[in-house]
Amino acid sequence: MKTNNFMEVVFKAESVNEGFARVCVASFCVQLNPSIDELTDIKTAVSEAVTNAVVHAYPRGNGIVKLRCELIGGSVRIEVSDEGVGIKDIEKAREPFFTTKPTEERSGMGFAVMESFMDKVEVEKNGLKGTKVIMQKQLNANARVVVGE
Amino acid sequence: MHIKSKVYNNTLYVILCGELDEHSATHTRMTLDEAFSGRGFGQVIIDLSELEFMDSTGIGVLIGRYKKMKSKNIPIYIANPSTHAEKIFKMTGLYEIMPKIV
């Protein structure tokens, strides 16, 4: 399907950038005229994916997170990718309450929240290293983006 | 994240103001633990009316506080969650250990 508009940003994998990532995607999606609830769903899903990259991808620090957002008709497609250590067992990682850091008060609900708030969530290896999370959500039926008008 | 707290009528009221995510989690944990370490209350009410954003990191923070207060036999209740926070609480079963009060 044809992409109507897209944006990409790359930022350091630091927790201080989570808020930036949320606001960045939400601001971009505003052109689809989403509801407040839809925007909050998207911000939460983005926050979960970026948090995973910040917390798990780079045990030695100094990593990057890439955020790509595409508007396709009335839906939004978001990719959150890193170039870190990758996820050993993706299926296991997606199970509710599963965490590799049980001593750190982590809920293990990140992927469950993404799946609940978005229509579709895919998790795959990001080329040779790292992880890519791809999420899609159909916004309200009247939303359409027209570039160039 | 800014946290306000006061003890009134045997209850510790805690108001979370701002965004609760990975970035604010450490500060939130420390501030809540400090407030919870005080005396003069037999229950805790966490008021979320001024919480602007929360993701699943917040669930981890709240469950951690629940475990600490359970050993003191002090119950924690949730007040004024947004519909969004409520969605996460219901999904994760948080209300089973921290009931919502009206």
Q: What is the CATH number of the domain that holds A105?
A: 3.30.565.10
Residues of B in Cβ contact (< 8 Å) with A44? 53, 55, 84, 88
Question: Do A51 and B22 count as a contact with CB atoms less than 8 A apart?
Answer: yes
Query: CA B88, CA A122: separation in Å to the nearest integer?
Result: 20
Tokens 């250990």 appear where? Answer: B97
* Nearest-by-Cβ selection for B63 from A47, A105, A110: A105
User: Tens of pLDDT along B34-46?
Assistant: 999 998 999 999 9
The distance of A148 to chain B (nearest Cα, Å) reads 34
Q: Which two tokens stand for residue B72?
A: 């003191």
**For residue A95, what pLDDT band results from cuts at 50, 70 and 90?**
confident
Of the residues A14, A33, A106, A115, only one is catalytic, namely A106
Query: CA B71, CA A68: separation in Å to the nearest integer?
Result: 45
Which candidate, A76, A62, A94, places its Cα nearest to that of A25? A76
- Give the pTM: 0.92
- The domains of chain B are located at 2-101
Query: CA B38, CA B15: separation in Å to the nearest integer?
Result: 16
> A149 in a domain, yes or no?
no
Residue A98's domain comprises: 5-138
Question: Do A107 and B57 count as a contact with CB atoms less than 8 A apart?
Answer: yes
Rg of chain B over all Cα atoms, to the nearest angstrom: 12
Which candidate, B6, B8, B7, B31, places its Cα nearest to that of B18? B31
Kindly list the distances between the CA atom of residue A115 and the CA atoms of A11, A15, A41, B94, in Å, as whole numbers in the listed order: 24, 22, 10, 18
Taking CA–CA distances from B64, the nearest residue in chain A reads A105
* Nearest-by-Cβ selection for B21 from A51, A105, A117: A51
Query: CA B35, CA B65: separation in Å to the nearest integer?
Result: 11
User: Tens of pLDDT along B9-63?
Assistant: 999 999 999 999 999 999 999 999 999 999 899 999 999 999 999 999 999 999 9
The distance of A145 to chain B (nearest Cα, Å) reads 26
> A66 in a domain, yes or no?
yes
Q: Does the predicted interface ipTM exceed a cut of 0.85?
A: yes
* Nearest-by-Cβ selection for B55 from A16, A51, A105: A51
Yes or no: domain B2-101 corresponds to CATH 3.30.750.24: yes
Q: How many domains does chain A have?
A: 1
φ, ψ for residue A89 (rounded to 5)?
Answer: -130, 95
Rounded-to-10 torsion of CA A52, A53, A59, A60? -160
